[in-house]
Amino acid sequence: MKSALTWDVLAKCSTTKARAAVLTLPHGPVNAPVFMPVGTQGTLKGITPEQIEGLGCQIMLNNTYHLGLRPGQELLDQCGGAHVFQGWNRNLLTDSGGFQMVSLLKLAEITEDGVQFESPHDGSLMLLTPEHSMSLQNSIGADIMMQLDDVVSSLTTGPRVEEAMWRSIRWLDRCIKAHKKPETQNLFAIIQGGLDPNLRKVCIDEMVKRDTPGYAIGGLSGGEEKDKFWRVVSQCTDLMPRNKPIYCMGVGYAEDLVVCVALGVDMFDCVFPTRTARFGNALTSKGTLSLRQAKFKDDFRPIEEGCDCIACKSYTRAYLYTVVTKETVGCHLISIHNTAYQLRLMRQIRESVIEDRFPQFIHKFFKDLFVEKSAYPEWAVNALKSVNVDLMGGEEASK
Amino acid sequence: MLTFNQQPESGIRRGRLSIPKKDGEDSVQKRVIETPGCLMYSAKGSVPHLTPDNVRLQDFGGVNVSMEHLLQNHHPAGLKNWDFDLAKFLHLEEFILLCQLRDTSAFTKLAPTTDRFVTLTTFQGIRQFTLQDYFEVVSAYRPDIVIAFTDNIAETFRDPSTVLPGKKRVQRSVDRSLKWLDQTLRVRAGGEGGQDEAEKKASKNESRKEQRKKARFQQTAETSEVESGSGSNATTPASTRAATPSDPATTTQTKEEAPRSWADVAVFAQVHGSDLVSERVRSAQETAKRDVDGFVLDVSGLVESKSMTKNAVLNCIKVSTDHLPTDKPRLVYGIQTPEDVLKAITMGADLFDTSYPFHLTEDGKASLYYFKQPAIAGSTTTTSIGEQRWINLWDDEHGDKFVPLLDGCECYACKGGRHTRAYINHLLKTHEMLATVLLMSHNMHQYSKFFASVRQSIEDGTFQKESVLFNERFGVEPDRTGEIHAAQAIVEASLTRRANRLEGAEEGVVEAIGLGPSPAGTPVPQKRHSEDMTGHADKKPKPEDMA
């Protein structure tokens, strides 16, 4: 299939499956591994495009379902796409709109045709077919677009999982056929199969034949046990072609990012940093600060020492305590900080892979965040062990 | 100290407010405020919707900060922890910082001012703010300019048929304000609190009651502020000290910790008089005798009363300024719209605040008005009657207008055509905060350009002529009714419906045919990252969490 991207691996970790690369897309280069903030409705929670660029963000997400409703396809066609519409000149990635089926809606009916659901805004019925999703995403004009997949919760068991997997493959074929701009927009396939390794293998075999510019691991981050989650991710990265970017959708927390990079994942997205910012929660390398708490009222330190975001350069926790959840600037400042935190984390990961000291970075990261080894999450310990990093045994025990 | 240089030749006042650079490696050269000009209105110490980088893109030289926005229950005692001043705390070091007692964007009525306190509305509740409290706050904040503790007659009258205060009440406010002004100037000069014996005794008793009340506020405030699962309530030593009726010596300025000197803080005195000419004259004449650095005329109460015409209110300004020295600046609150500003300038006003662009922004409006210079470069300056002074971005008609708010405008939102009316309409309809960021950037910029043009025309001698043209073009601002736009009502109703509809989905089970149960609507399970400093629920709390 035609590709509008190039994928250049700069370095590989000699211990884990991590790699550092440059993903070059129509709107510029992206350093990988990469975390993509989510600007659902064509905006990132009150942060201006200039501020987002200033944070070093090279790619962010828009949501097809929401933009399809408002401003709608016609307006997007009229002005030339979502980049122009929101004044964002770097890269965009759109999901298919399918995830909203699982996350937003009480009633949805899935047929071979597509997904029929009720709009939460005005109750009207919408049918999202692979063709319609492609058409919408073509109008939005994102540099990477996702196939419409039959999303099944990772907790589902039984024949429904396999049915969804096969349907996703069929829908991928329909998407490829309907995609009108492969020269400027890259269609990614989404591997399904639930938590069943056999189904995952079948899905990968089939989808790889379609030779899309990149692949995503879908159907996870739905509340499944983390110990099962990482095994699926690891299996996928083992089987997927290594000369293309691999994207794990909906991930996530800082420790999830670190572990999944070690397992070989290149791209991530999650609403968490900006969503939690709205509630006054600031992310730091030592944990989350809930700045609404009165205990910060006389804390004259920045959110995180050494952070160069505008919140940390301008204000102390004591001041932020007075404005978070009360003034819009409070939300903007914490959103900027949390995005800066996530992007800085990825930068540090990437540098450590390039300098081949990723395992040392992992050890330090977990120590800073959890302090005591007894507090390290078991799933993370297991996952890292599978790629030769022994969190419990200390750095000497890792290569 | 503040310097106010006025250009004497012009018939209309034209000046500049500046603060000389202080000694010390940390000090910065502050911006100047050209007059007629503005201070930026702030809420809780921030210009609404604008982060520090975006604030600095604006041309204004000063910021207006309200004490009641920042006051917390453990203040002023807790301010002793400050080894910096307010400018640093708010990251406004390069701006001229002016402190007023109360919010200046809208007149709100509260409990009556008494001989001992002014009532403030803080975010933690209603607060009786004494002169002593005020001195402690000022000595901790050390802004560039502080407005003297004053009686602004902000109460709701007992007799609801009275719209404006009676003569006795007005006289009392003039007298009280003068007395408090004298005490303020004495303390600034390093003198005593300035209370006579009877007052000191009365304030000791009052203070004990006030302390107990504060302590009650404190405990309830802290209980409601702290999230579950966080461990202990962090209390600072100062707050626990206030929990018991304490030694009177500690309720006033503590002897052992002398408050920091604020001798170089400029004091602006408020002149009063309501709508009574004799009182306005008396207040102005008496206040003018004092060694203050500037004057404040707050006519927002008169405007709010709606029992006077705008012109009558503006005349009140002139009655006062006729008796004020010409070499000191006059700051007016309550006069906001461009046409009112033009008139107030002829009445002797120098400074205003940016409440007007703030109100426009809250309503979803973007200004189109201009003074003297046409907005579009190169267009003809023929007078047109009834030009649009703003557009409301909630209106459907903007939904497909891929043009900037105002063609040729150099503000952040419009520059280079990066953001469009269509996009801002979309942001409003999707309830996204970037809408107000862009509108505020634009409206503030337009207001500052308006003032810059006004100043230019004063220098050119064309001020009167251009004022007439402005009024012909743009007429009079309609009153804000507080009604929200129909489109906004639709969005808010739909958000409520969505919230109701999603209640089931987000909490637990998604009842979708063919989709199994899923624990959460969002990609991220709810229970993670509990509301405390620990990284995880299963992480052992660190010692500093328990502070």
Mean pLDDT score across all residues of chain B = 80
B49 chain-A contacts, CB cut-off 8 A? 46, 328-329, 332
pLDDT band at residue B480, thresholds of 50, 70 and 90? Answer: confident
pTM for this prediction: 0.87
The yes-or-no verdict on residue B511 having pLDDT over 50 is no
**Domain stops at, among B486, B515, B541:** B486
* 3-state per-residue secondary structure call for A91-155: EEEECCCCHHHHHHCCCEEECCCCEEEECCCCCCEEEECHHHHHHHHHHHCCCEEECCCCCCCCC
Q: What is the pLDDT of residue B209?
A: 60
Q: What is the pLDDT of residue B212?
A: 66
Q: What is the pLDDT of residue B203?
A: 56
Measured between CA atoms, how close is B56 to chain A, in angstroms?
12
pLDDT digits (tens, 9 = 90+) for B434-476: 999 999 999 999 999 999 999 999 998 899 999 999 999 998 8
* Alpha carbon separation from B444 to A322, A345, B63, B334, B468 (Å, rounded): 24, 36, 13, 17, 23
The yes-or-no verdict on residue B478 having pLDDT over 90 is no
Is the domain of B396 the same as that of B338?
no
DSSP 8-state class, residue B542: P
Distance CA B417, CA B438 (A): 12
- Put simply, whether B508 touches A (Cβ < 8 Å) is no
Within-domain flag for B217: no
Cβ contact B432–A46 (<8 Å): yes
**Domain stops at, among B291, B325, B353:** B353
Q: What percent of chain B has a predicted confidence (pLDDT) above 90?
A: 56
**Contact criterion met (CB below 8 Å) for B184 and B148:** yes
Q: Least CB-CB distance to A369: which of B225, B519, B535?
A: B535
The yes-or-no verdict on residue B55 having pLDDT over 60 is yes
Q: A257-271, B151-165, B291-305, B402-416: which has the minimum mean pLDDT?
A: B151-165
Q: What is the pLDDT of residue B257?
A: 54
- pLDDT, mean of residues B144-165: 78
pLDDT band at residue B6, thresholds of 50, 70 and 90? Answer: confident
Within-domain flag for B207: no
Is the domain of B302 the same as that of B178?
yes
Cβ contact B523–A103 (<8 Å): yes
- Put simply, whether B547 touches A (Cβ < 8 Å) is yes
Is the domain of B119 the same as that of B58?
yes
Q: What is the pLDDT of residue A198?
A: 96
Is the domain of B347 the same as that of B379?
no
Within-domain flag for B526: no
B400 chain-A contacts, CB cut-off 8 A? 75, 78
The yes-or-no verdict on residue B337 having pLDDT over 90 is yes
Within-domain flag for B119: yes
The enclosing domain of B276 has a CATH number of 3.20.20.105
Q: What is the pLDDT of residue A201?
A: 97
CB proximity list for B282: less than 8 A, separation 6 or greater:
B174, B273
Q: Is the ipTM reported for this complex over the cut 0.85?
A: yes
pLDDT band at residue B10, thresholds of 50, 70 and 90? Answer: low
Q: What is the pLDDT of residue B250?
A: 39
pLDDT band at residue B248, thresholds of 50, 70 and 90? Answer: very low
Within-domain flag for B59: yes
- pLDDT, mean of residues B37-48: 96
Is the domain of B8 the same as that of B48?
yes
Q: What is the pLDDT of residue A102?
A: 58
Residues 124-183 of A with CB under 8 A from B: 151-153, 155-157, 160
Q: What is the pLDDT of residue B261?
A: 86
Is the domain of B335 the same as that of B287?
yes
- Can you read off the two tokens belonging to residue B416? 């280079």
Distance CA B465, CA B481 (A): 31
The yes-or-no verdict on residue B505 having pLDDT over 80 is no
Distance CA B176, CA B169 (A): 10
Q: Least CB-CB distance to A329: which of B50, B81, B533?
A: B50
Within-domain flag for B234: no
B72 chain-A contacts, CB cut-off 8 A? 297, 322
Is the domain of B36 the same as that of B167?
yes
3-state secondary structure of B156: coil
- Put simply, whether B501 touches A (Cβ < 8 Å) is yes
The dihedral through the CA atoms of B318, B321, B322, B328 has a sign that is: negative
Is the domain of B76 the same as that of B164?
yes
CA angle B427, B525, A42 (to 5 degrees): 15
Q: What is the pLDDT of residue B512?
A: 25
Choose from A16-25, A156-165, B524-533, B538-547 the range with maximum mean pLDDT: A16-25
Cβ contact B518–A102 (<8 Å): yes
**Contact criterion met (CB below 8 Å) for A63 and A274:** no
**Domain stops at, among B461, B486, B511:** B486
Provide the number of structural domains found in chain B: 2
The yes-or-no verdict on residue B528 having pLDDT over 50 is no
Q: Which residue of B has its CA nearest to A270?
A: B523
pLDDT band at residue B2, thresholds of 50, 70 and 90? Answer: confident
- Can you read off the two tokens belonging to residue B190? 């390093």
Distance CA A105, CA A88 (A): 30
- pLDDT, mean of residues B89-102: 96
pLDDT digits (tens, 9 = 90+) for B185-233: 999 998 765 555 455 565 566 556 666 665 555 454 444 443 333 333 3
pLDDT band at residue B111, thresholds of 50, 70 and 90? Answer: confident
Q: Which residue of B has its CA nearest to A278?
A: B433
The yes-or-no verdict on residue B235 having pLDDT over 70 is no
pLDDT digits (tens, 9 = 90+) for B276-335: 999 999 999 999 999 999 999 999 888 888 788 899 999 999 999 999 999 999 999 999
Enclosing domain of residue B451: 373-486
Residues of chain A with pLDDT under 70: 101-108, 119-121, 395-399
Active site residues of A: 95, 269
**Contact criterion met (CB below 8 Å) for B390 and B365:** yes
